[in-house]
Amino acid sequence: MNSTERVKNTLLGKPVDRQPIYGWVSANLTEQISEVYGSVEAFEDKYEFDAAHIFSGLSPYNQELLAKLREENEELTPDLLLDVDFFTDPDAEGAYQQLTDSIKFHKERDRFCYVQTPGFFEPFNDVFGIENQLMYMALYPDELAELYARQAEWTIRYAAHCIDLGADCIHISDDWGAQNNLMFSPTLWWDMIYPNMKKVIDYVHSRGVFASLHSDGCVLKVTDGIEKLGLDMVHPWQENAGMSHDLYKEKYADKFAILGGICVQSAIGIMPTEQLGEEIRRVFKNLKGQRWICCTSHFVQDHCTIDDLTYAYDLIYKLARE
């Protein structure tokens, strides 16, 4: 069984020869990993990572135009964007060379390739700022909903290219959770985010490809909506934000898989070595045999030493094969 088959079977709840493993290790530790292993790619090869988290490098927004609009207006509000075409062209020639190269590289290693895709709330934080957008959800709900609908249209066109190039999964990044609750009301989520995300997921599934979600924090108030969306995988199902493994196993284990388990906020790079080992063993005891891909909850932070990272993945590699 190769890595793509292993991950697909996990997502579908079918038997696997071992637990799949992955990790978001590159963003903050590339230099440190490269000093010891030669490159992040060599680290991923050593531990036989089963998946690849791929970025195309294409931004959905024309940043120069947005900067000009900010200069011309005292405040950039959603209504000001309705008459402006500030989206980039997802069909632009040459826009996907980075994605093409990355998928080719990882498919040579038989890895499951999931491509990061913009959601709705998260990407518009780059446009308005998170505090302003939260305010605009109350002050400009109709205008913001229209912008989200346009984002869905862009994302579907973007996803089409990713799928054509060989993506196994479209991974929608859309942070909704604070540490203990949603950042906005469930009603706003159902009214503004759910219908647009549903369009994207339905399109992805119509192409025979998996759909996954990344949202940090506690999203308990919309987990039934996550199920209704038909998502195949959720990352990170953040245990230290109240998303218990028991709840997942009791209510959602037959609905979708989870990617995660190794917390960057409370475990790896935080705990002393012996305690970290106990934590990793606990997570494997809770989730091994489930529809679970062992992964970090987010990018490992730069306060994590190479010794701790190596210790963690030596143990993860071993436990996945026991």
Rounded-to-integer distance, Cα 49 and Cα 295, Å: 10
| Structure confidence at residue 321 (pLDDT) | 97
| Structure confidence at residue 293 (pLDDT) | 98
Range of the domain at 312: 3-321
| Structure confidence at residue 70 (pLDDT) | 95
Position 141 confidence tier, pLDDT thresholds 50, 70, 90: very high
Inter-residue contact 271 to 279 (CB < 8 Å):
yes
Segment 111-132 shows an average pLDDT of 97
Rounded-to-integer distance, Cα 49 and Cα 7, Å: 11
Inter-residue contact 128 to 182 (CB < 8 Å):
no
| Structure confidence at residue 294 (pLDDT) | 98
Q: What would the two tokens of residue 301 be?
A: 């932070």
Position 262 confidence tier, pLDDT thresholds 50, 70, 90: very high
The pTM (predicted TM-score) of the whole model is 0.96
Position 203 confidence tier, pLDDT thresholds 50, 70, 90: very high
Average pLDDT for the chain? 97
CATH number at residue 287: 3.20.20.210
247 torsion bin: left (phi>0), alpha (psi -120 to 50), beta (else): alpha
Total of domains in the chain? 1
271 torsion bin: left (phi>0), alpha (psi -120 to 50), beta (else): beta
pLDDT tens-digit profile of 159-202? 999 999 999 999 999 999 999 999 999 999 999 999 999 999 99
| Structure confidence at residue 248 (pLDDT) | 97
Can you name the residues that pair with 261 across neighbouring β-strands?
295
% of the chain surpassing 90 pLDDT: 100
Segment 305-319 shows an average pLDDT of 98
Coil, helix or strand at residue 80:
helix
pLDDT tens-digit profile of 75-121? 999 999 999 999 999 999 899 999 999 999 999 999 999 999 999 99
| Structure confidence at residue 82 (pLDDT) | 96
| Structure confidence at residue 279 (pLDDT) | 98
Rounded-to-integer distance, Cα 266 and Cα 86, Å: 39
- What are phi and psi for residue 295, nearest 5 degrees? -160, 165
Segment 118-141 shows an average pLDDT of 96
Rounded-to-integer distance, Cα 258 and Cα 253, Å: 9
CB hemisphere CA count around 90 (13 angstroms): 17
| Structure confidence at residue 218 (pLDDT) | 97
